[in-house]
Amino acid sequence: MKKSARWALLVSTVAMLGAALVLAFVLSLATTGWLAERHFVWLFWVNVAVAALLFLVISLAALRLMSRLRTGKFGSRLLAKLAGIFAVVGVVPGLLIYGVSYQFVSRSIDSWFDVQVAGALDAGLALGRGTLDSMAVDLATKTRAVAERLTDSRSAIGPLALERARVQLGVREVMLVGPNGQVLASVGSSNTALVPERPSATLLRQARNQF
């Protein structure tokens, strides 16, 4: 067997082996994701090794072809033309398919997915805002009723009455505040706070507007 035939056989064998390994890798990713994840590092380095081997073989074949062209051996120009044709036939369709696929994914599926996610997030935000508004209105109504009941009570407002109000409202802390914003009584506060925190001026203003 001539050297050129052996080189052609070697290049064809390595190319088919690399293509088979790449196809097996893609198929394993598509069918058995857990198996691919388990052996991902090993498969990655196998593909890197095959790609390096293919690059080495193609580089040696290109150098050999350039050497034949320099020496002017018979059939070198025809061999160079055939190599160029095979390179164009192998590379251009792959680049075309990659470009079309990338544009399709980025413009159609990706944009559709973004629209759906944005709509779902907006719907979830609106639902959460509506739920919080409903809870705030309900709590304000209950608080107003408790405040009116405590105001109508003849007896002094003590910790027991505030604790009942806290349980009825279902809140963590109930605080009785005077006209000037001073804390008169408080129940259910955090154990880490020795003195209840005084409400801010904004909260006091909102409370006066509601009541």
Direct distance between the N- and C-terminal alpha carbons of the chain, in angstroms, rounded to an integer: 103
Co-location of 112 and 162 in the same domain: no
Provide the token pair at 31. Answer: 């069918």
When mean pLDDT is compared across 78-87, 161-170, 173-182, the lowest value belongs to 173-182
Co-location of 36 and 112 in the same domain: yes
- Number of domains the chain is built from: 2
Co-location of 106 and 172 in the same domain: no
pLDDT at 145 over 70: yes
| pLDDT score recorded for residue 175 | 76
Co-location of 132 and 116 in the same domain: no
Containing domain of residue 163, as a range? Answer: 128-210
| pLDDT score recorded for residue 70 | 84
Co-location of 173 and 115 in the same domain: no
Q: Tell which wins on pLDDT, 201 or 165.
A: 165
Co-location of 49 and 144 in the same domain: no
Confidence of residue 138 (pLDDT cuts 50, 70, 90): confident
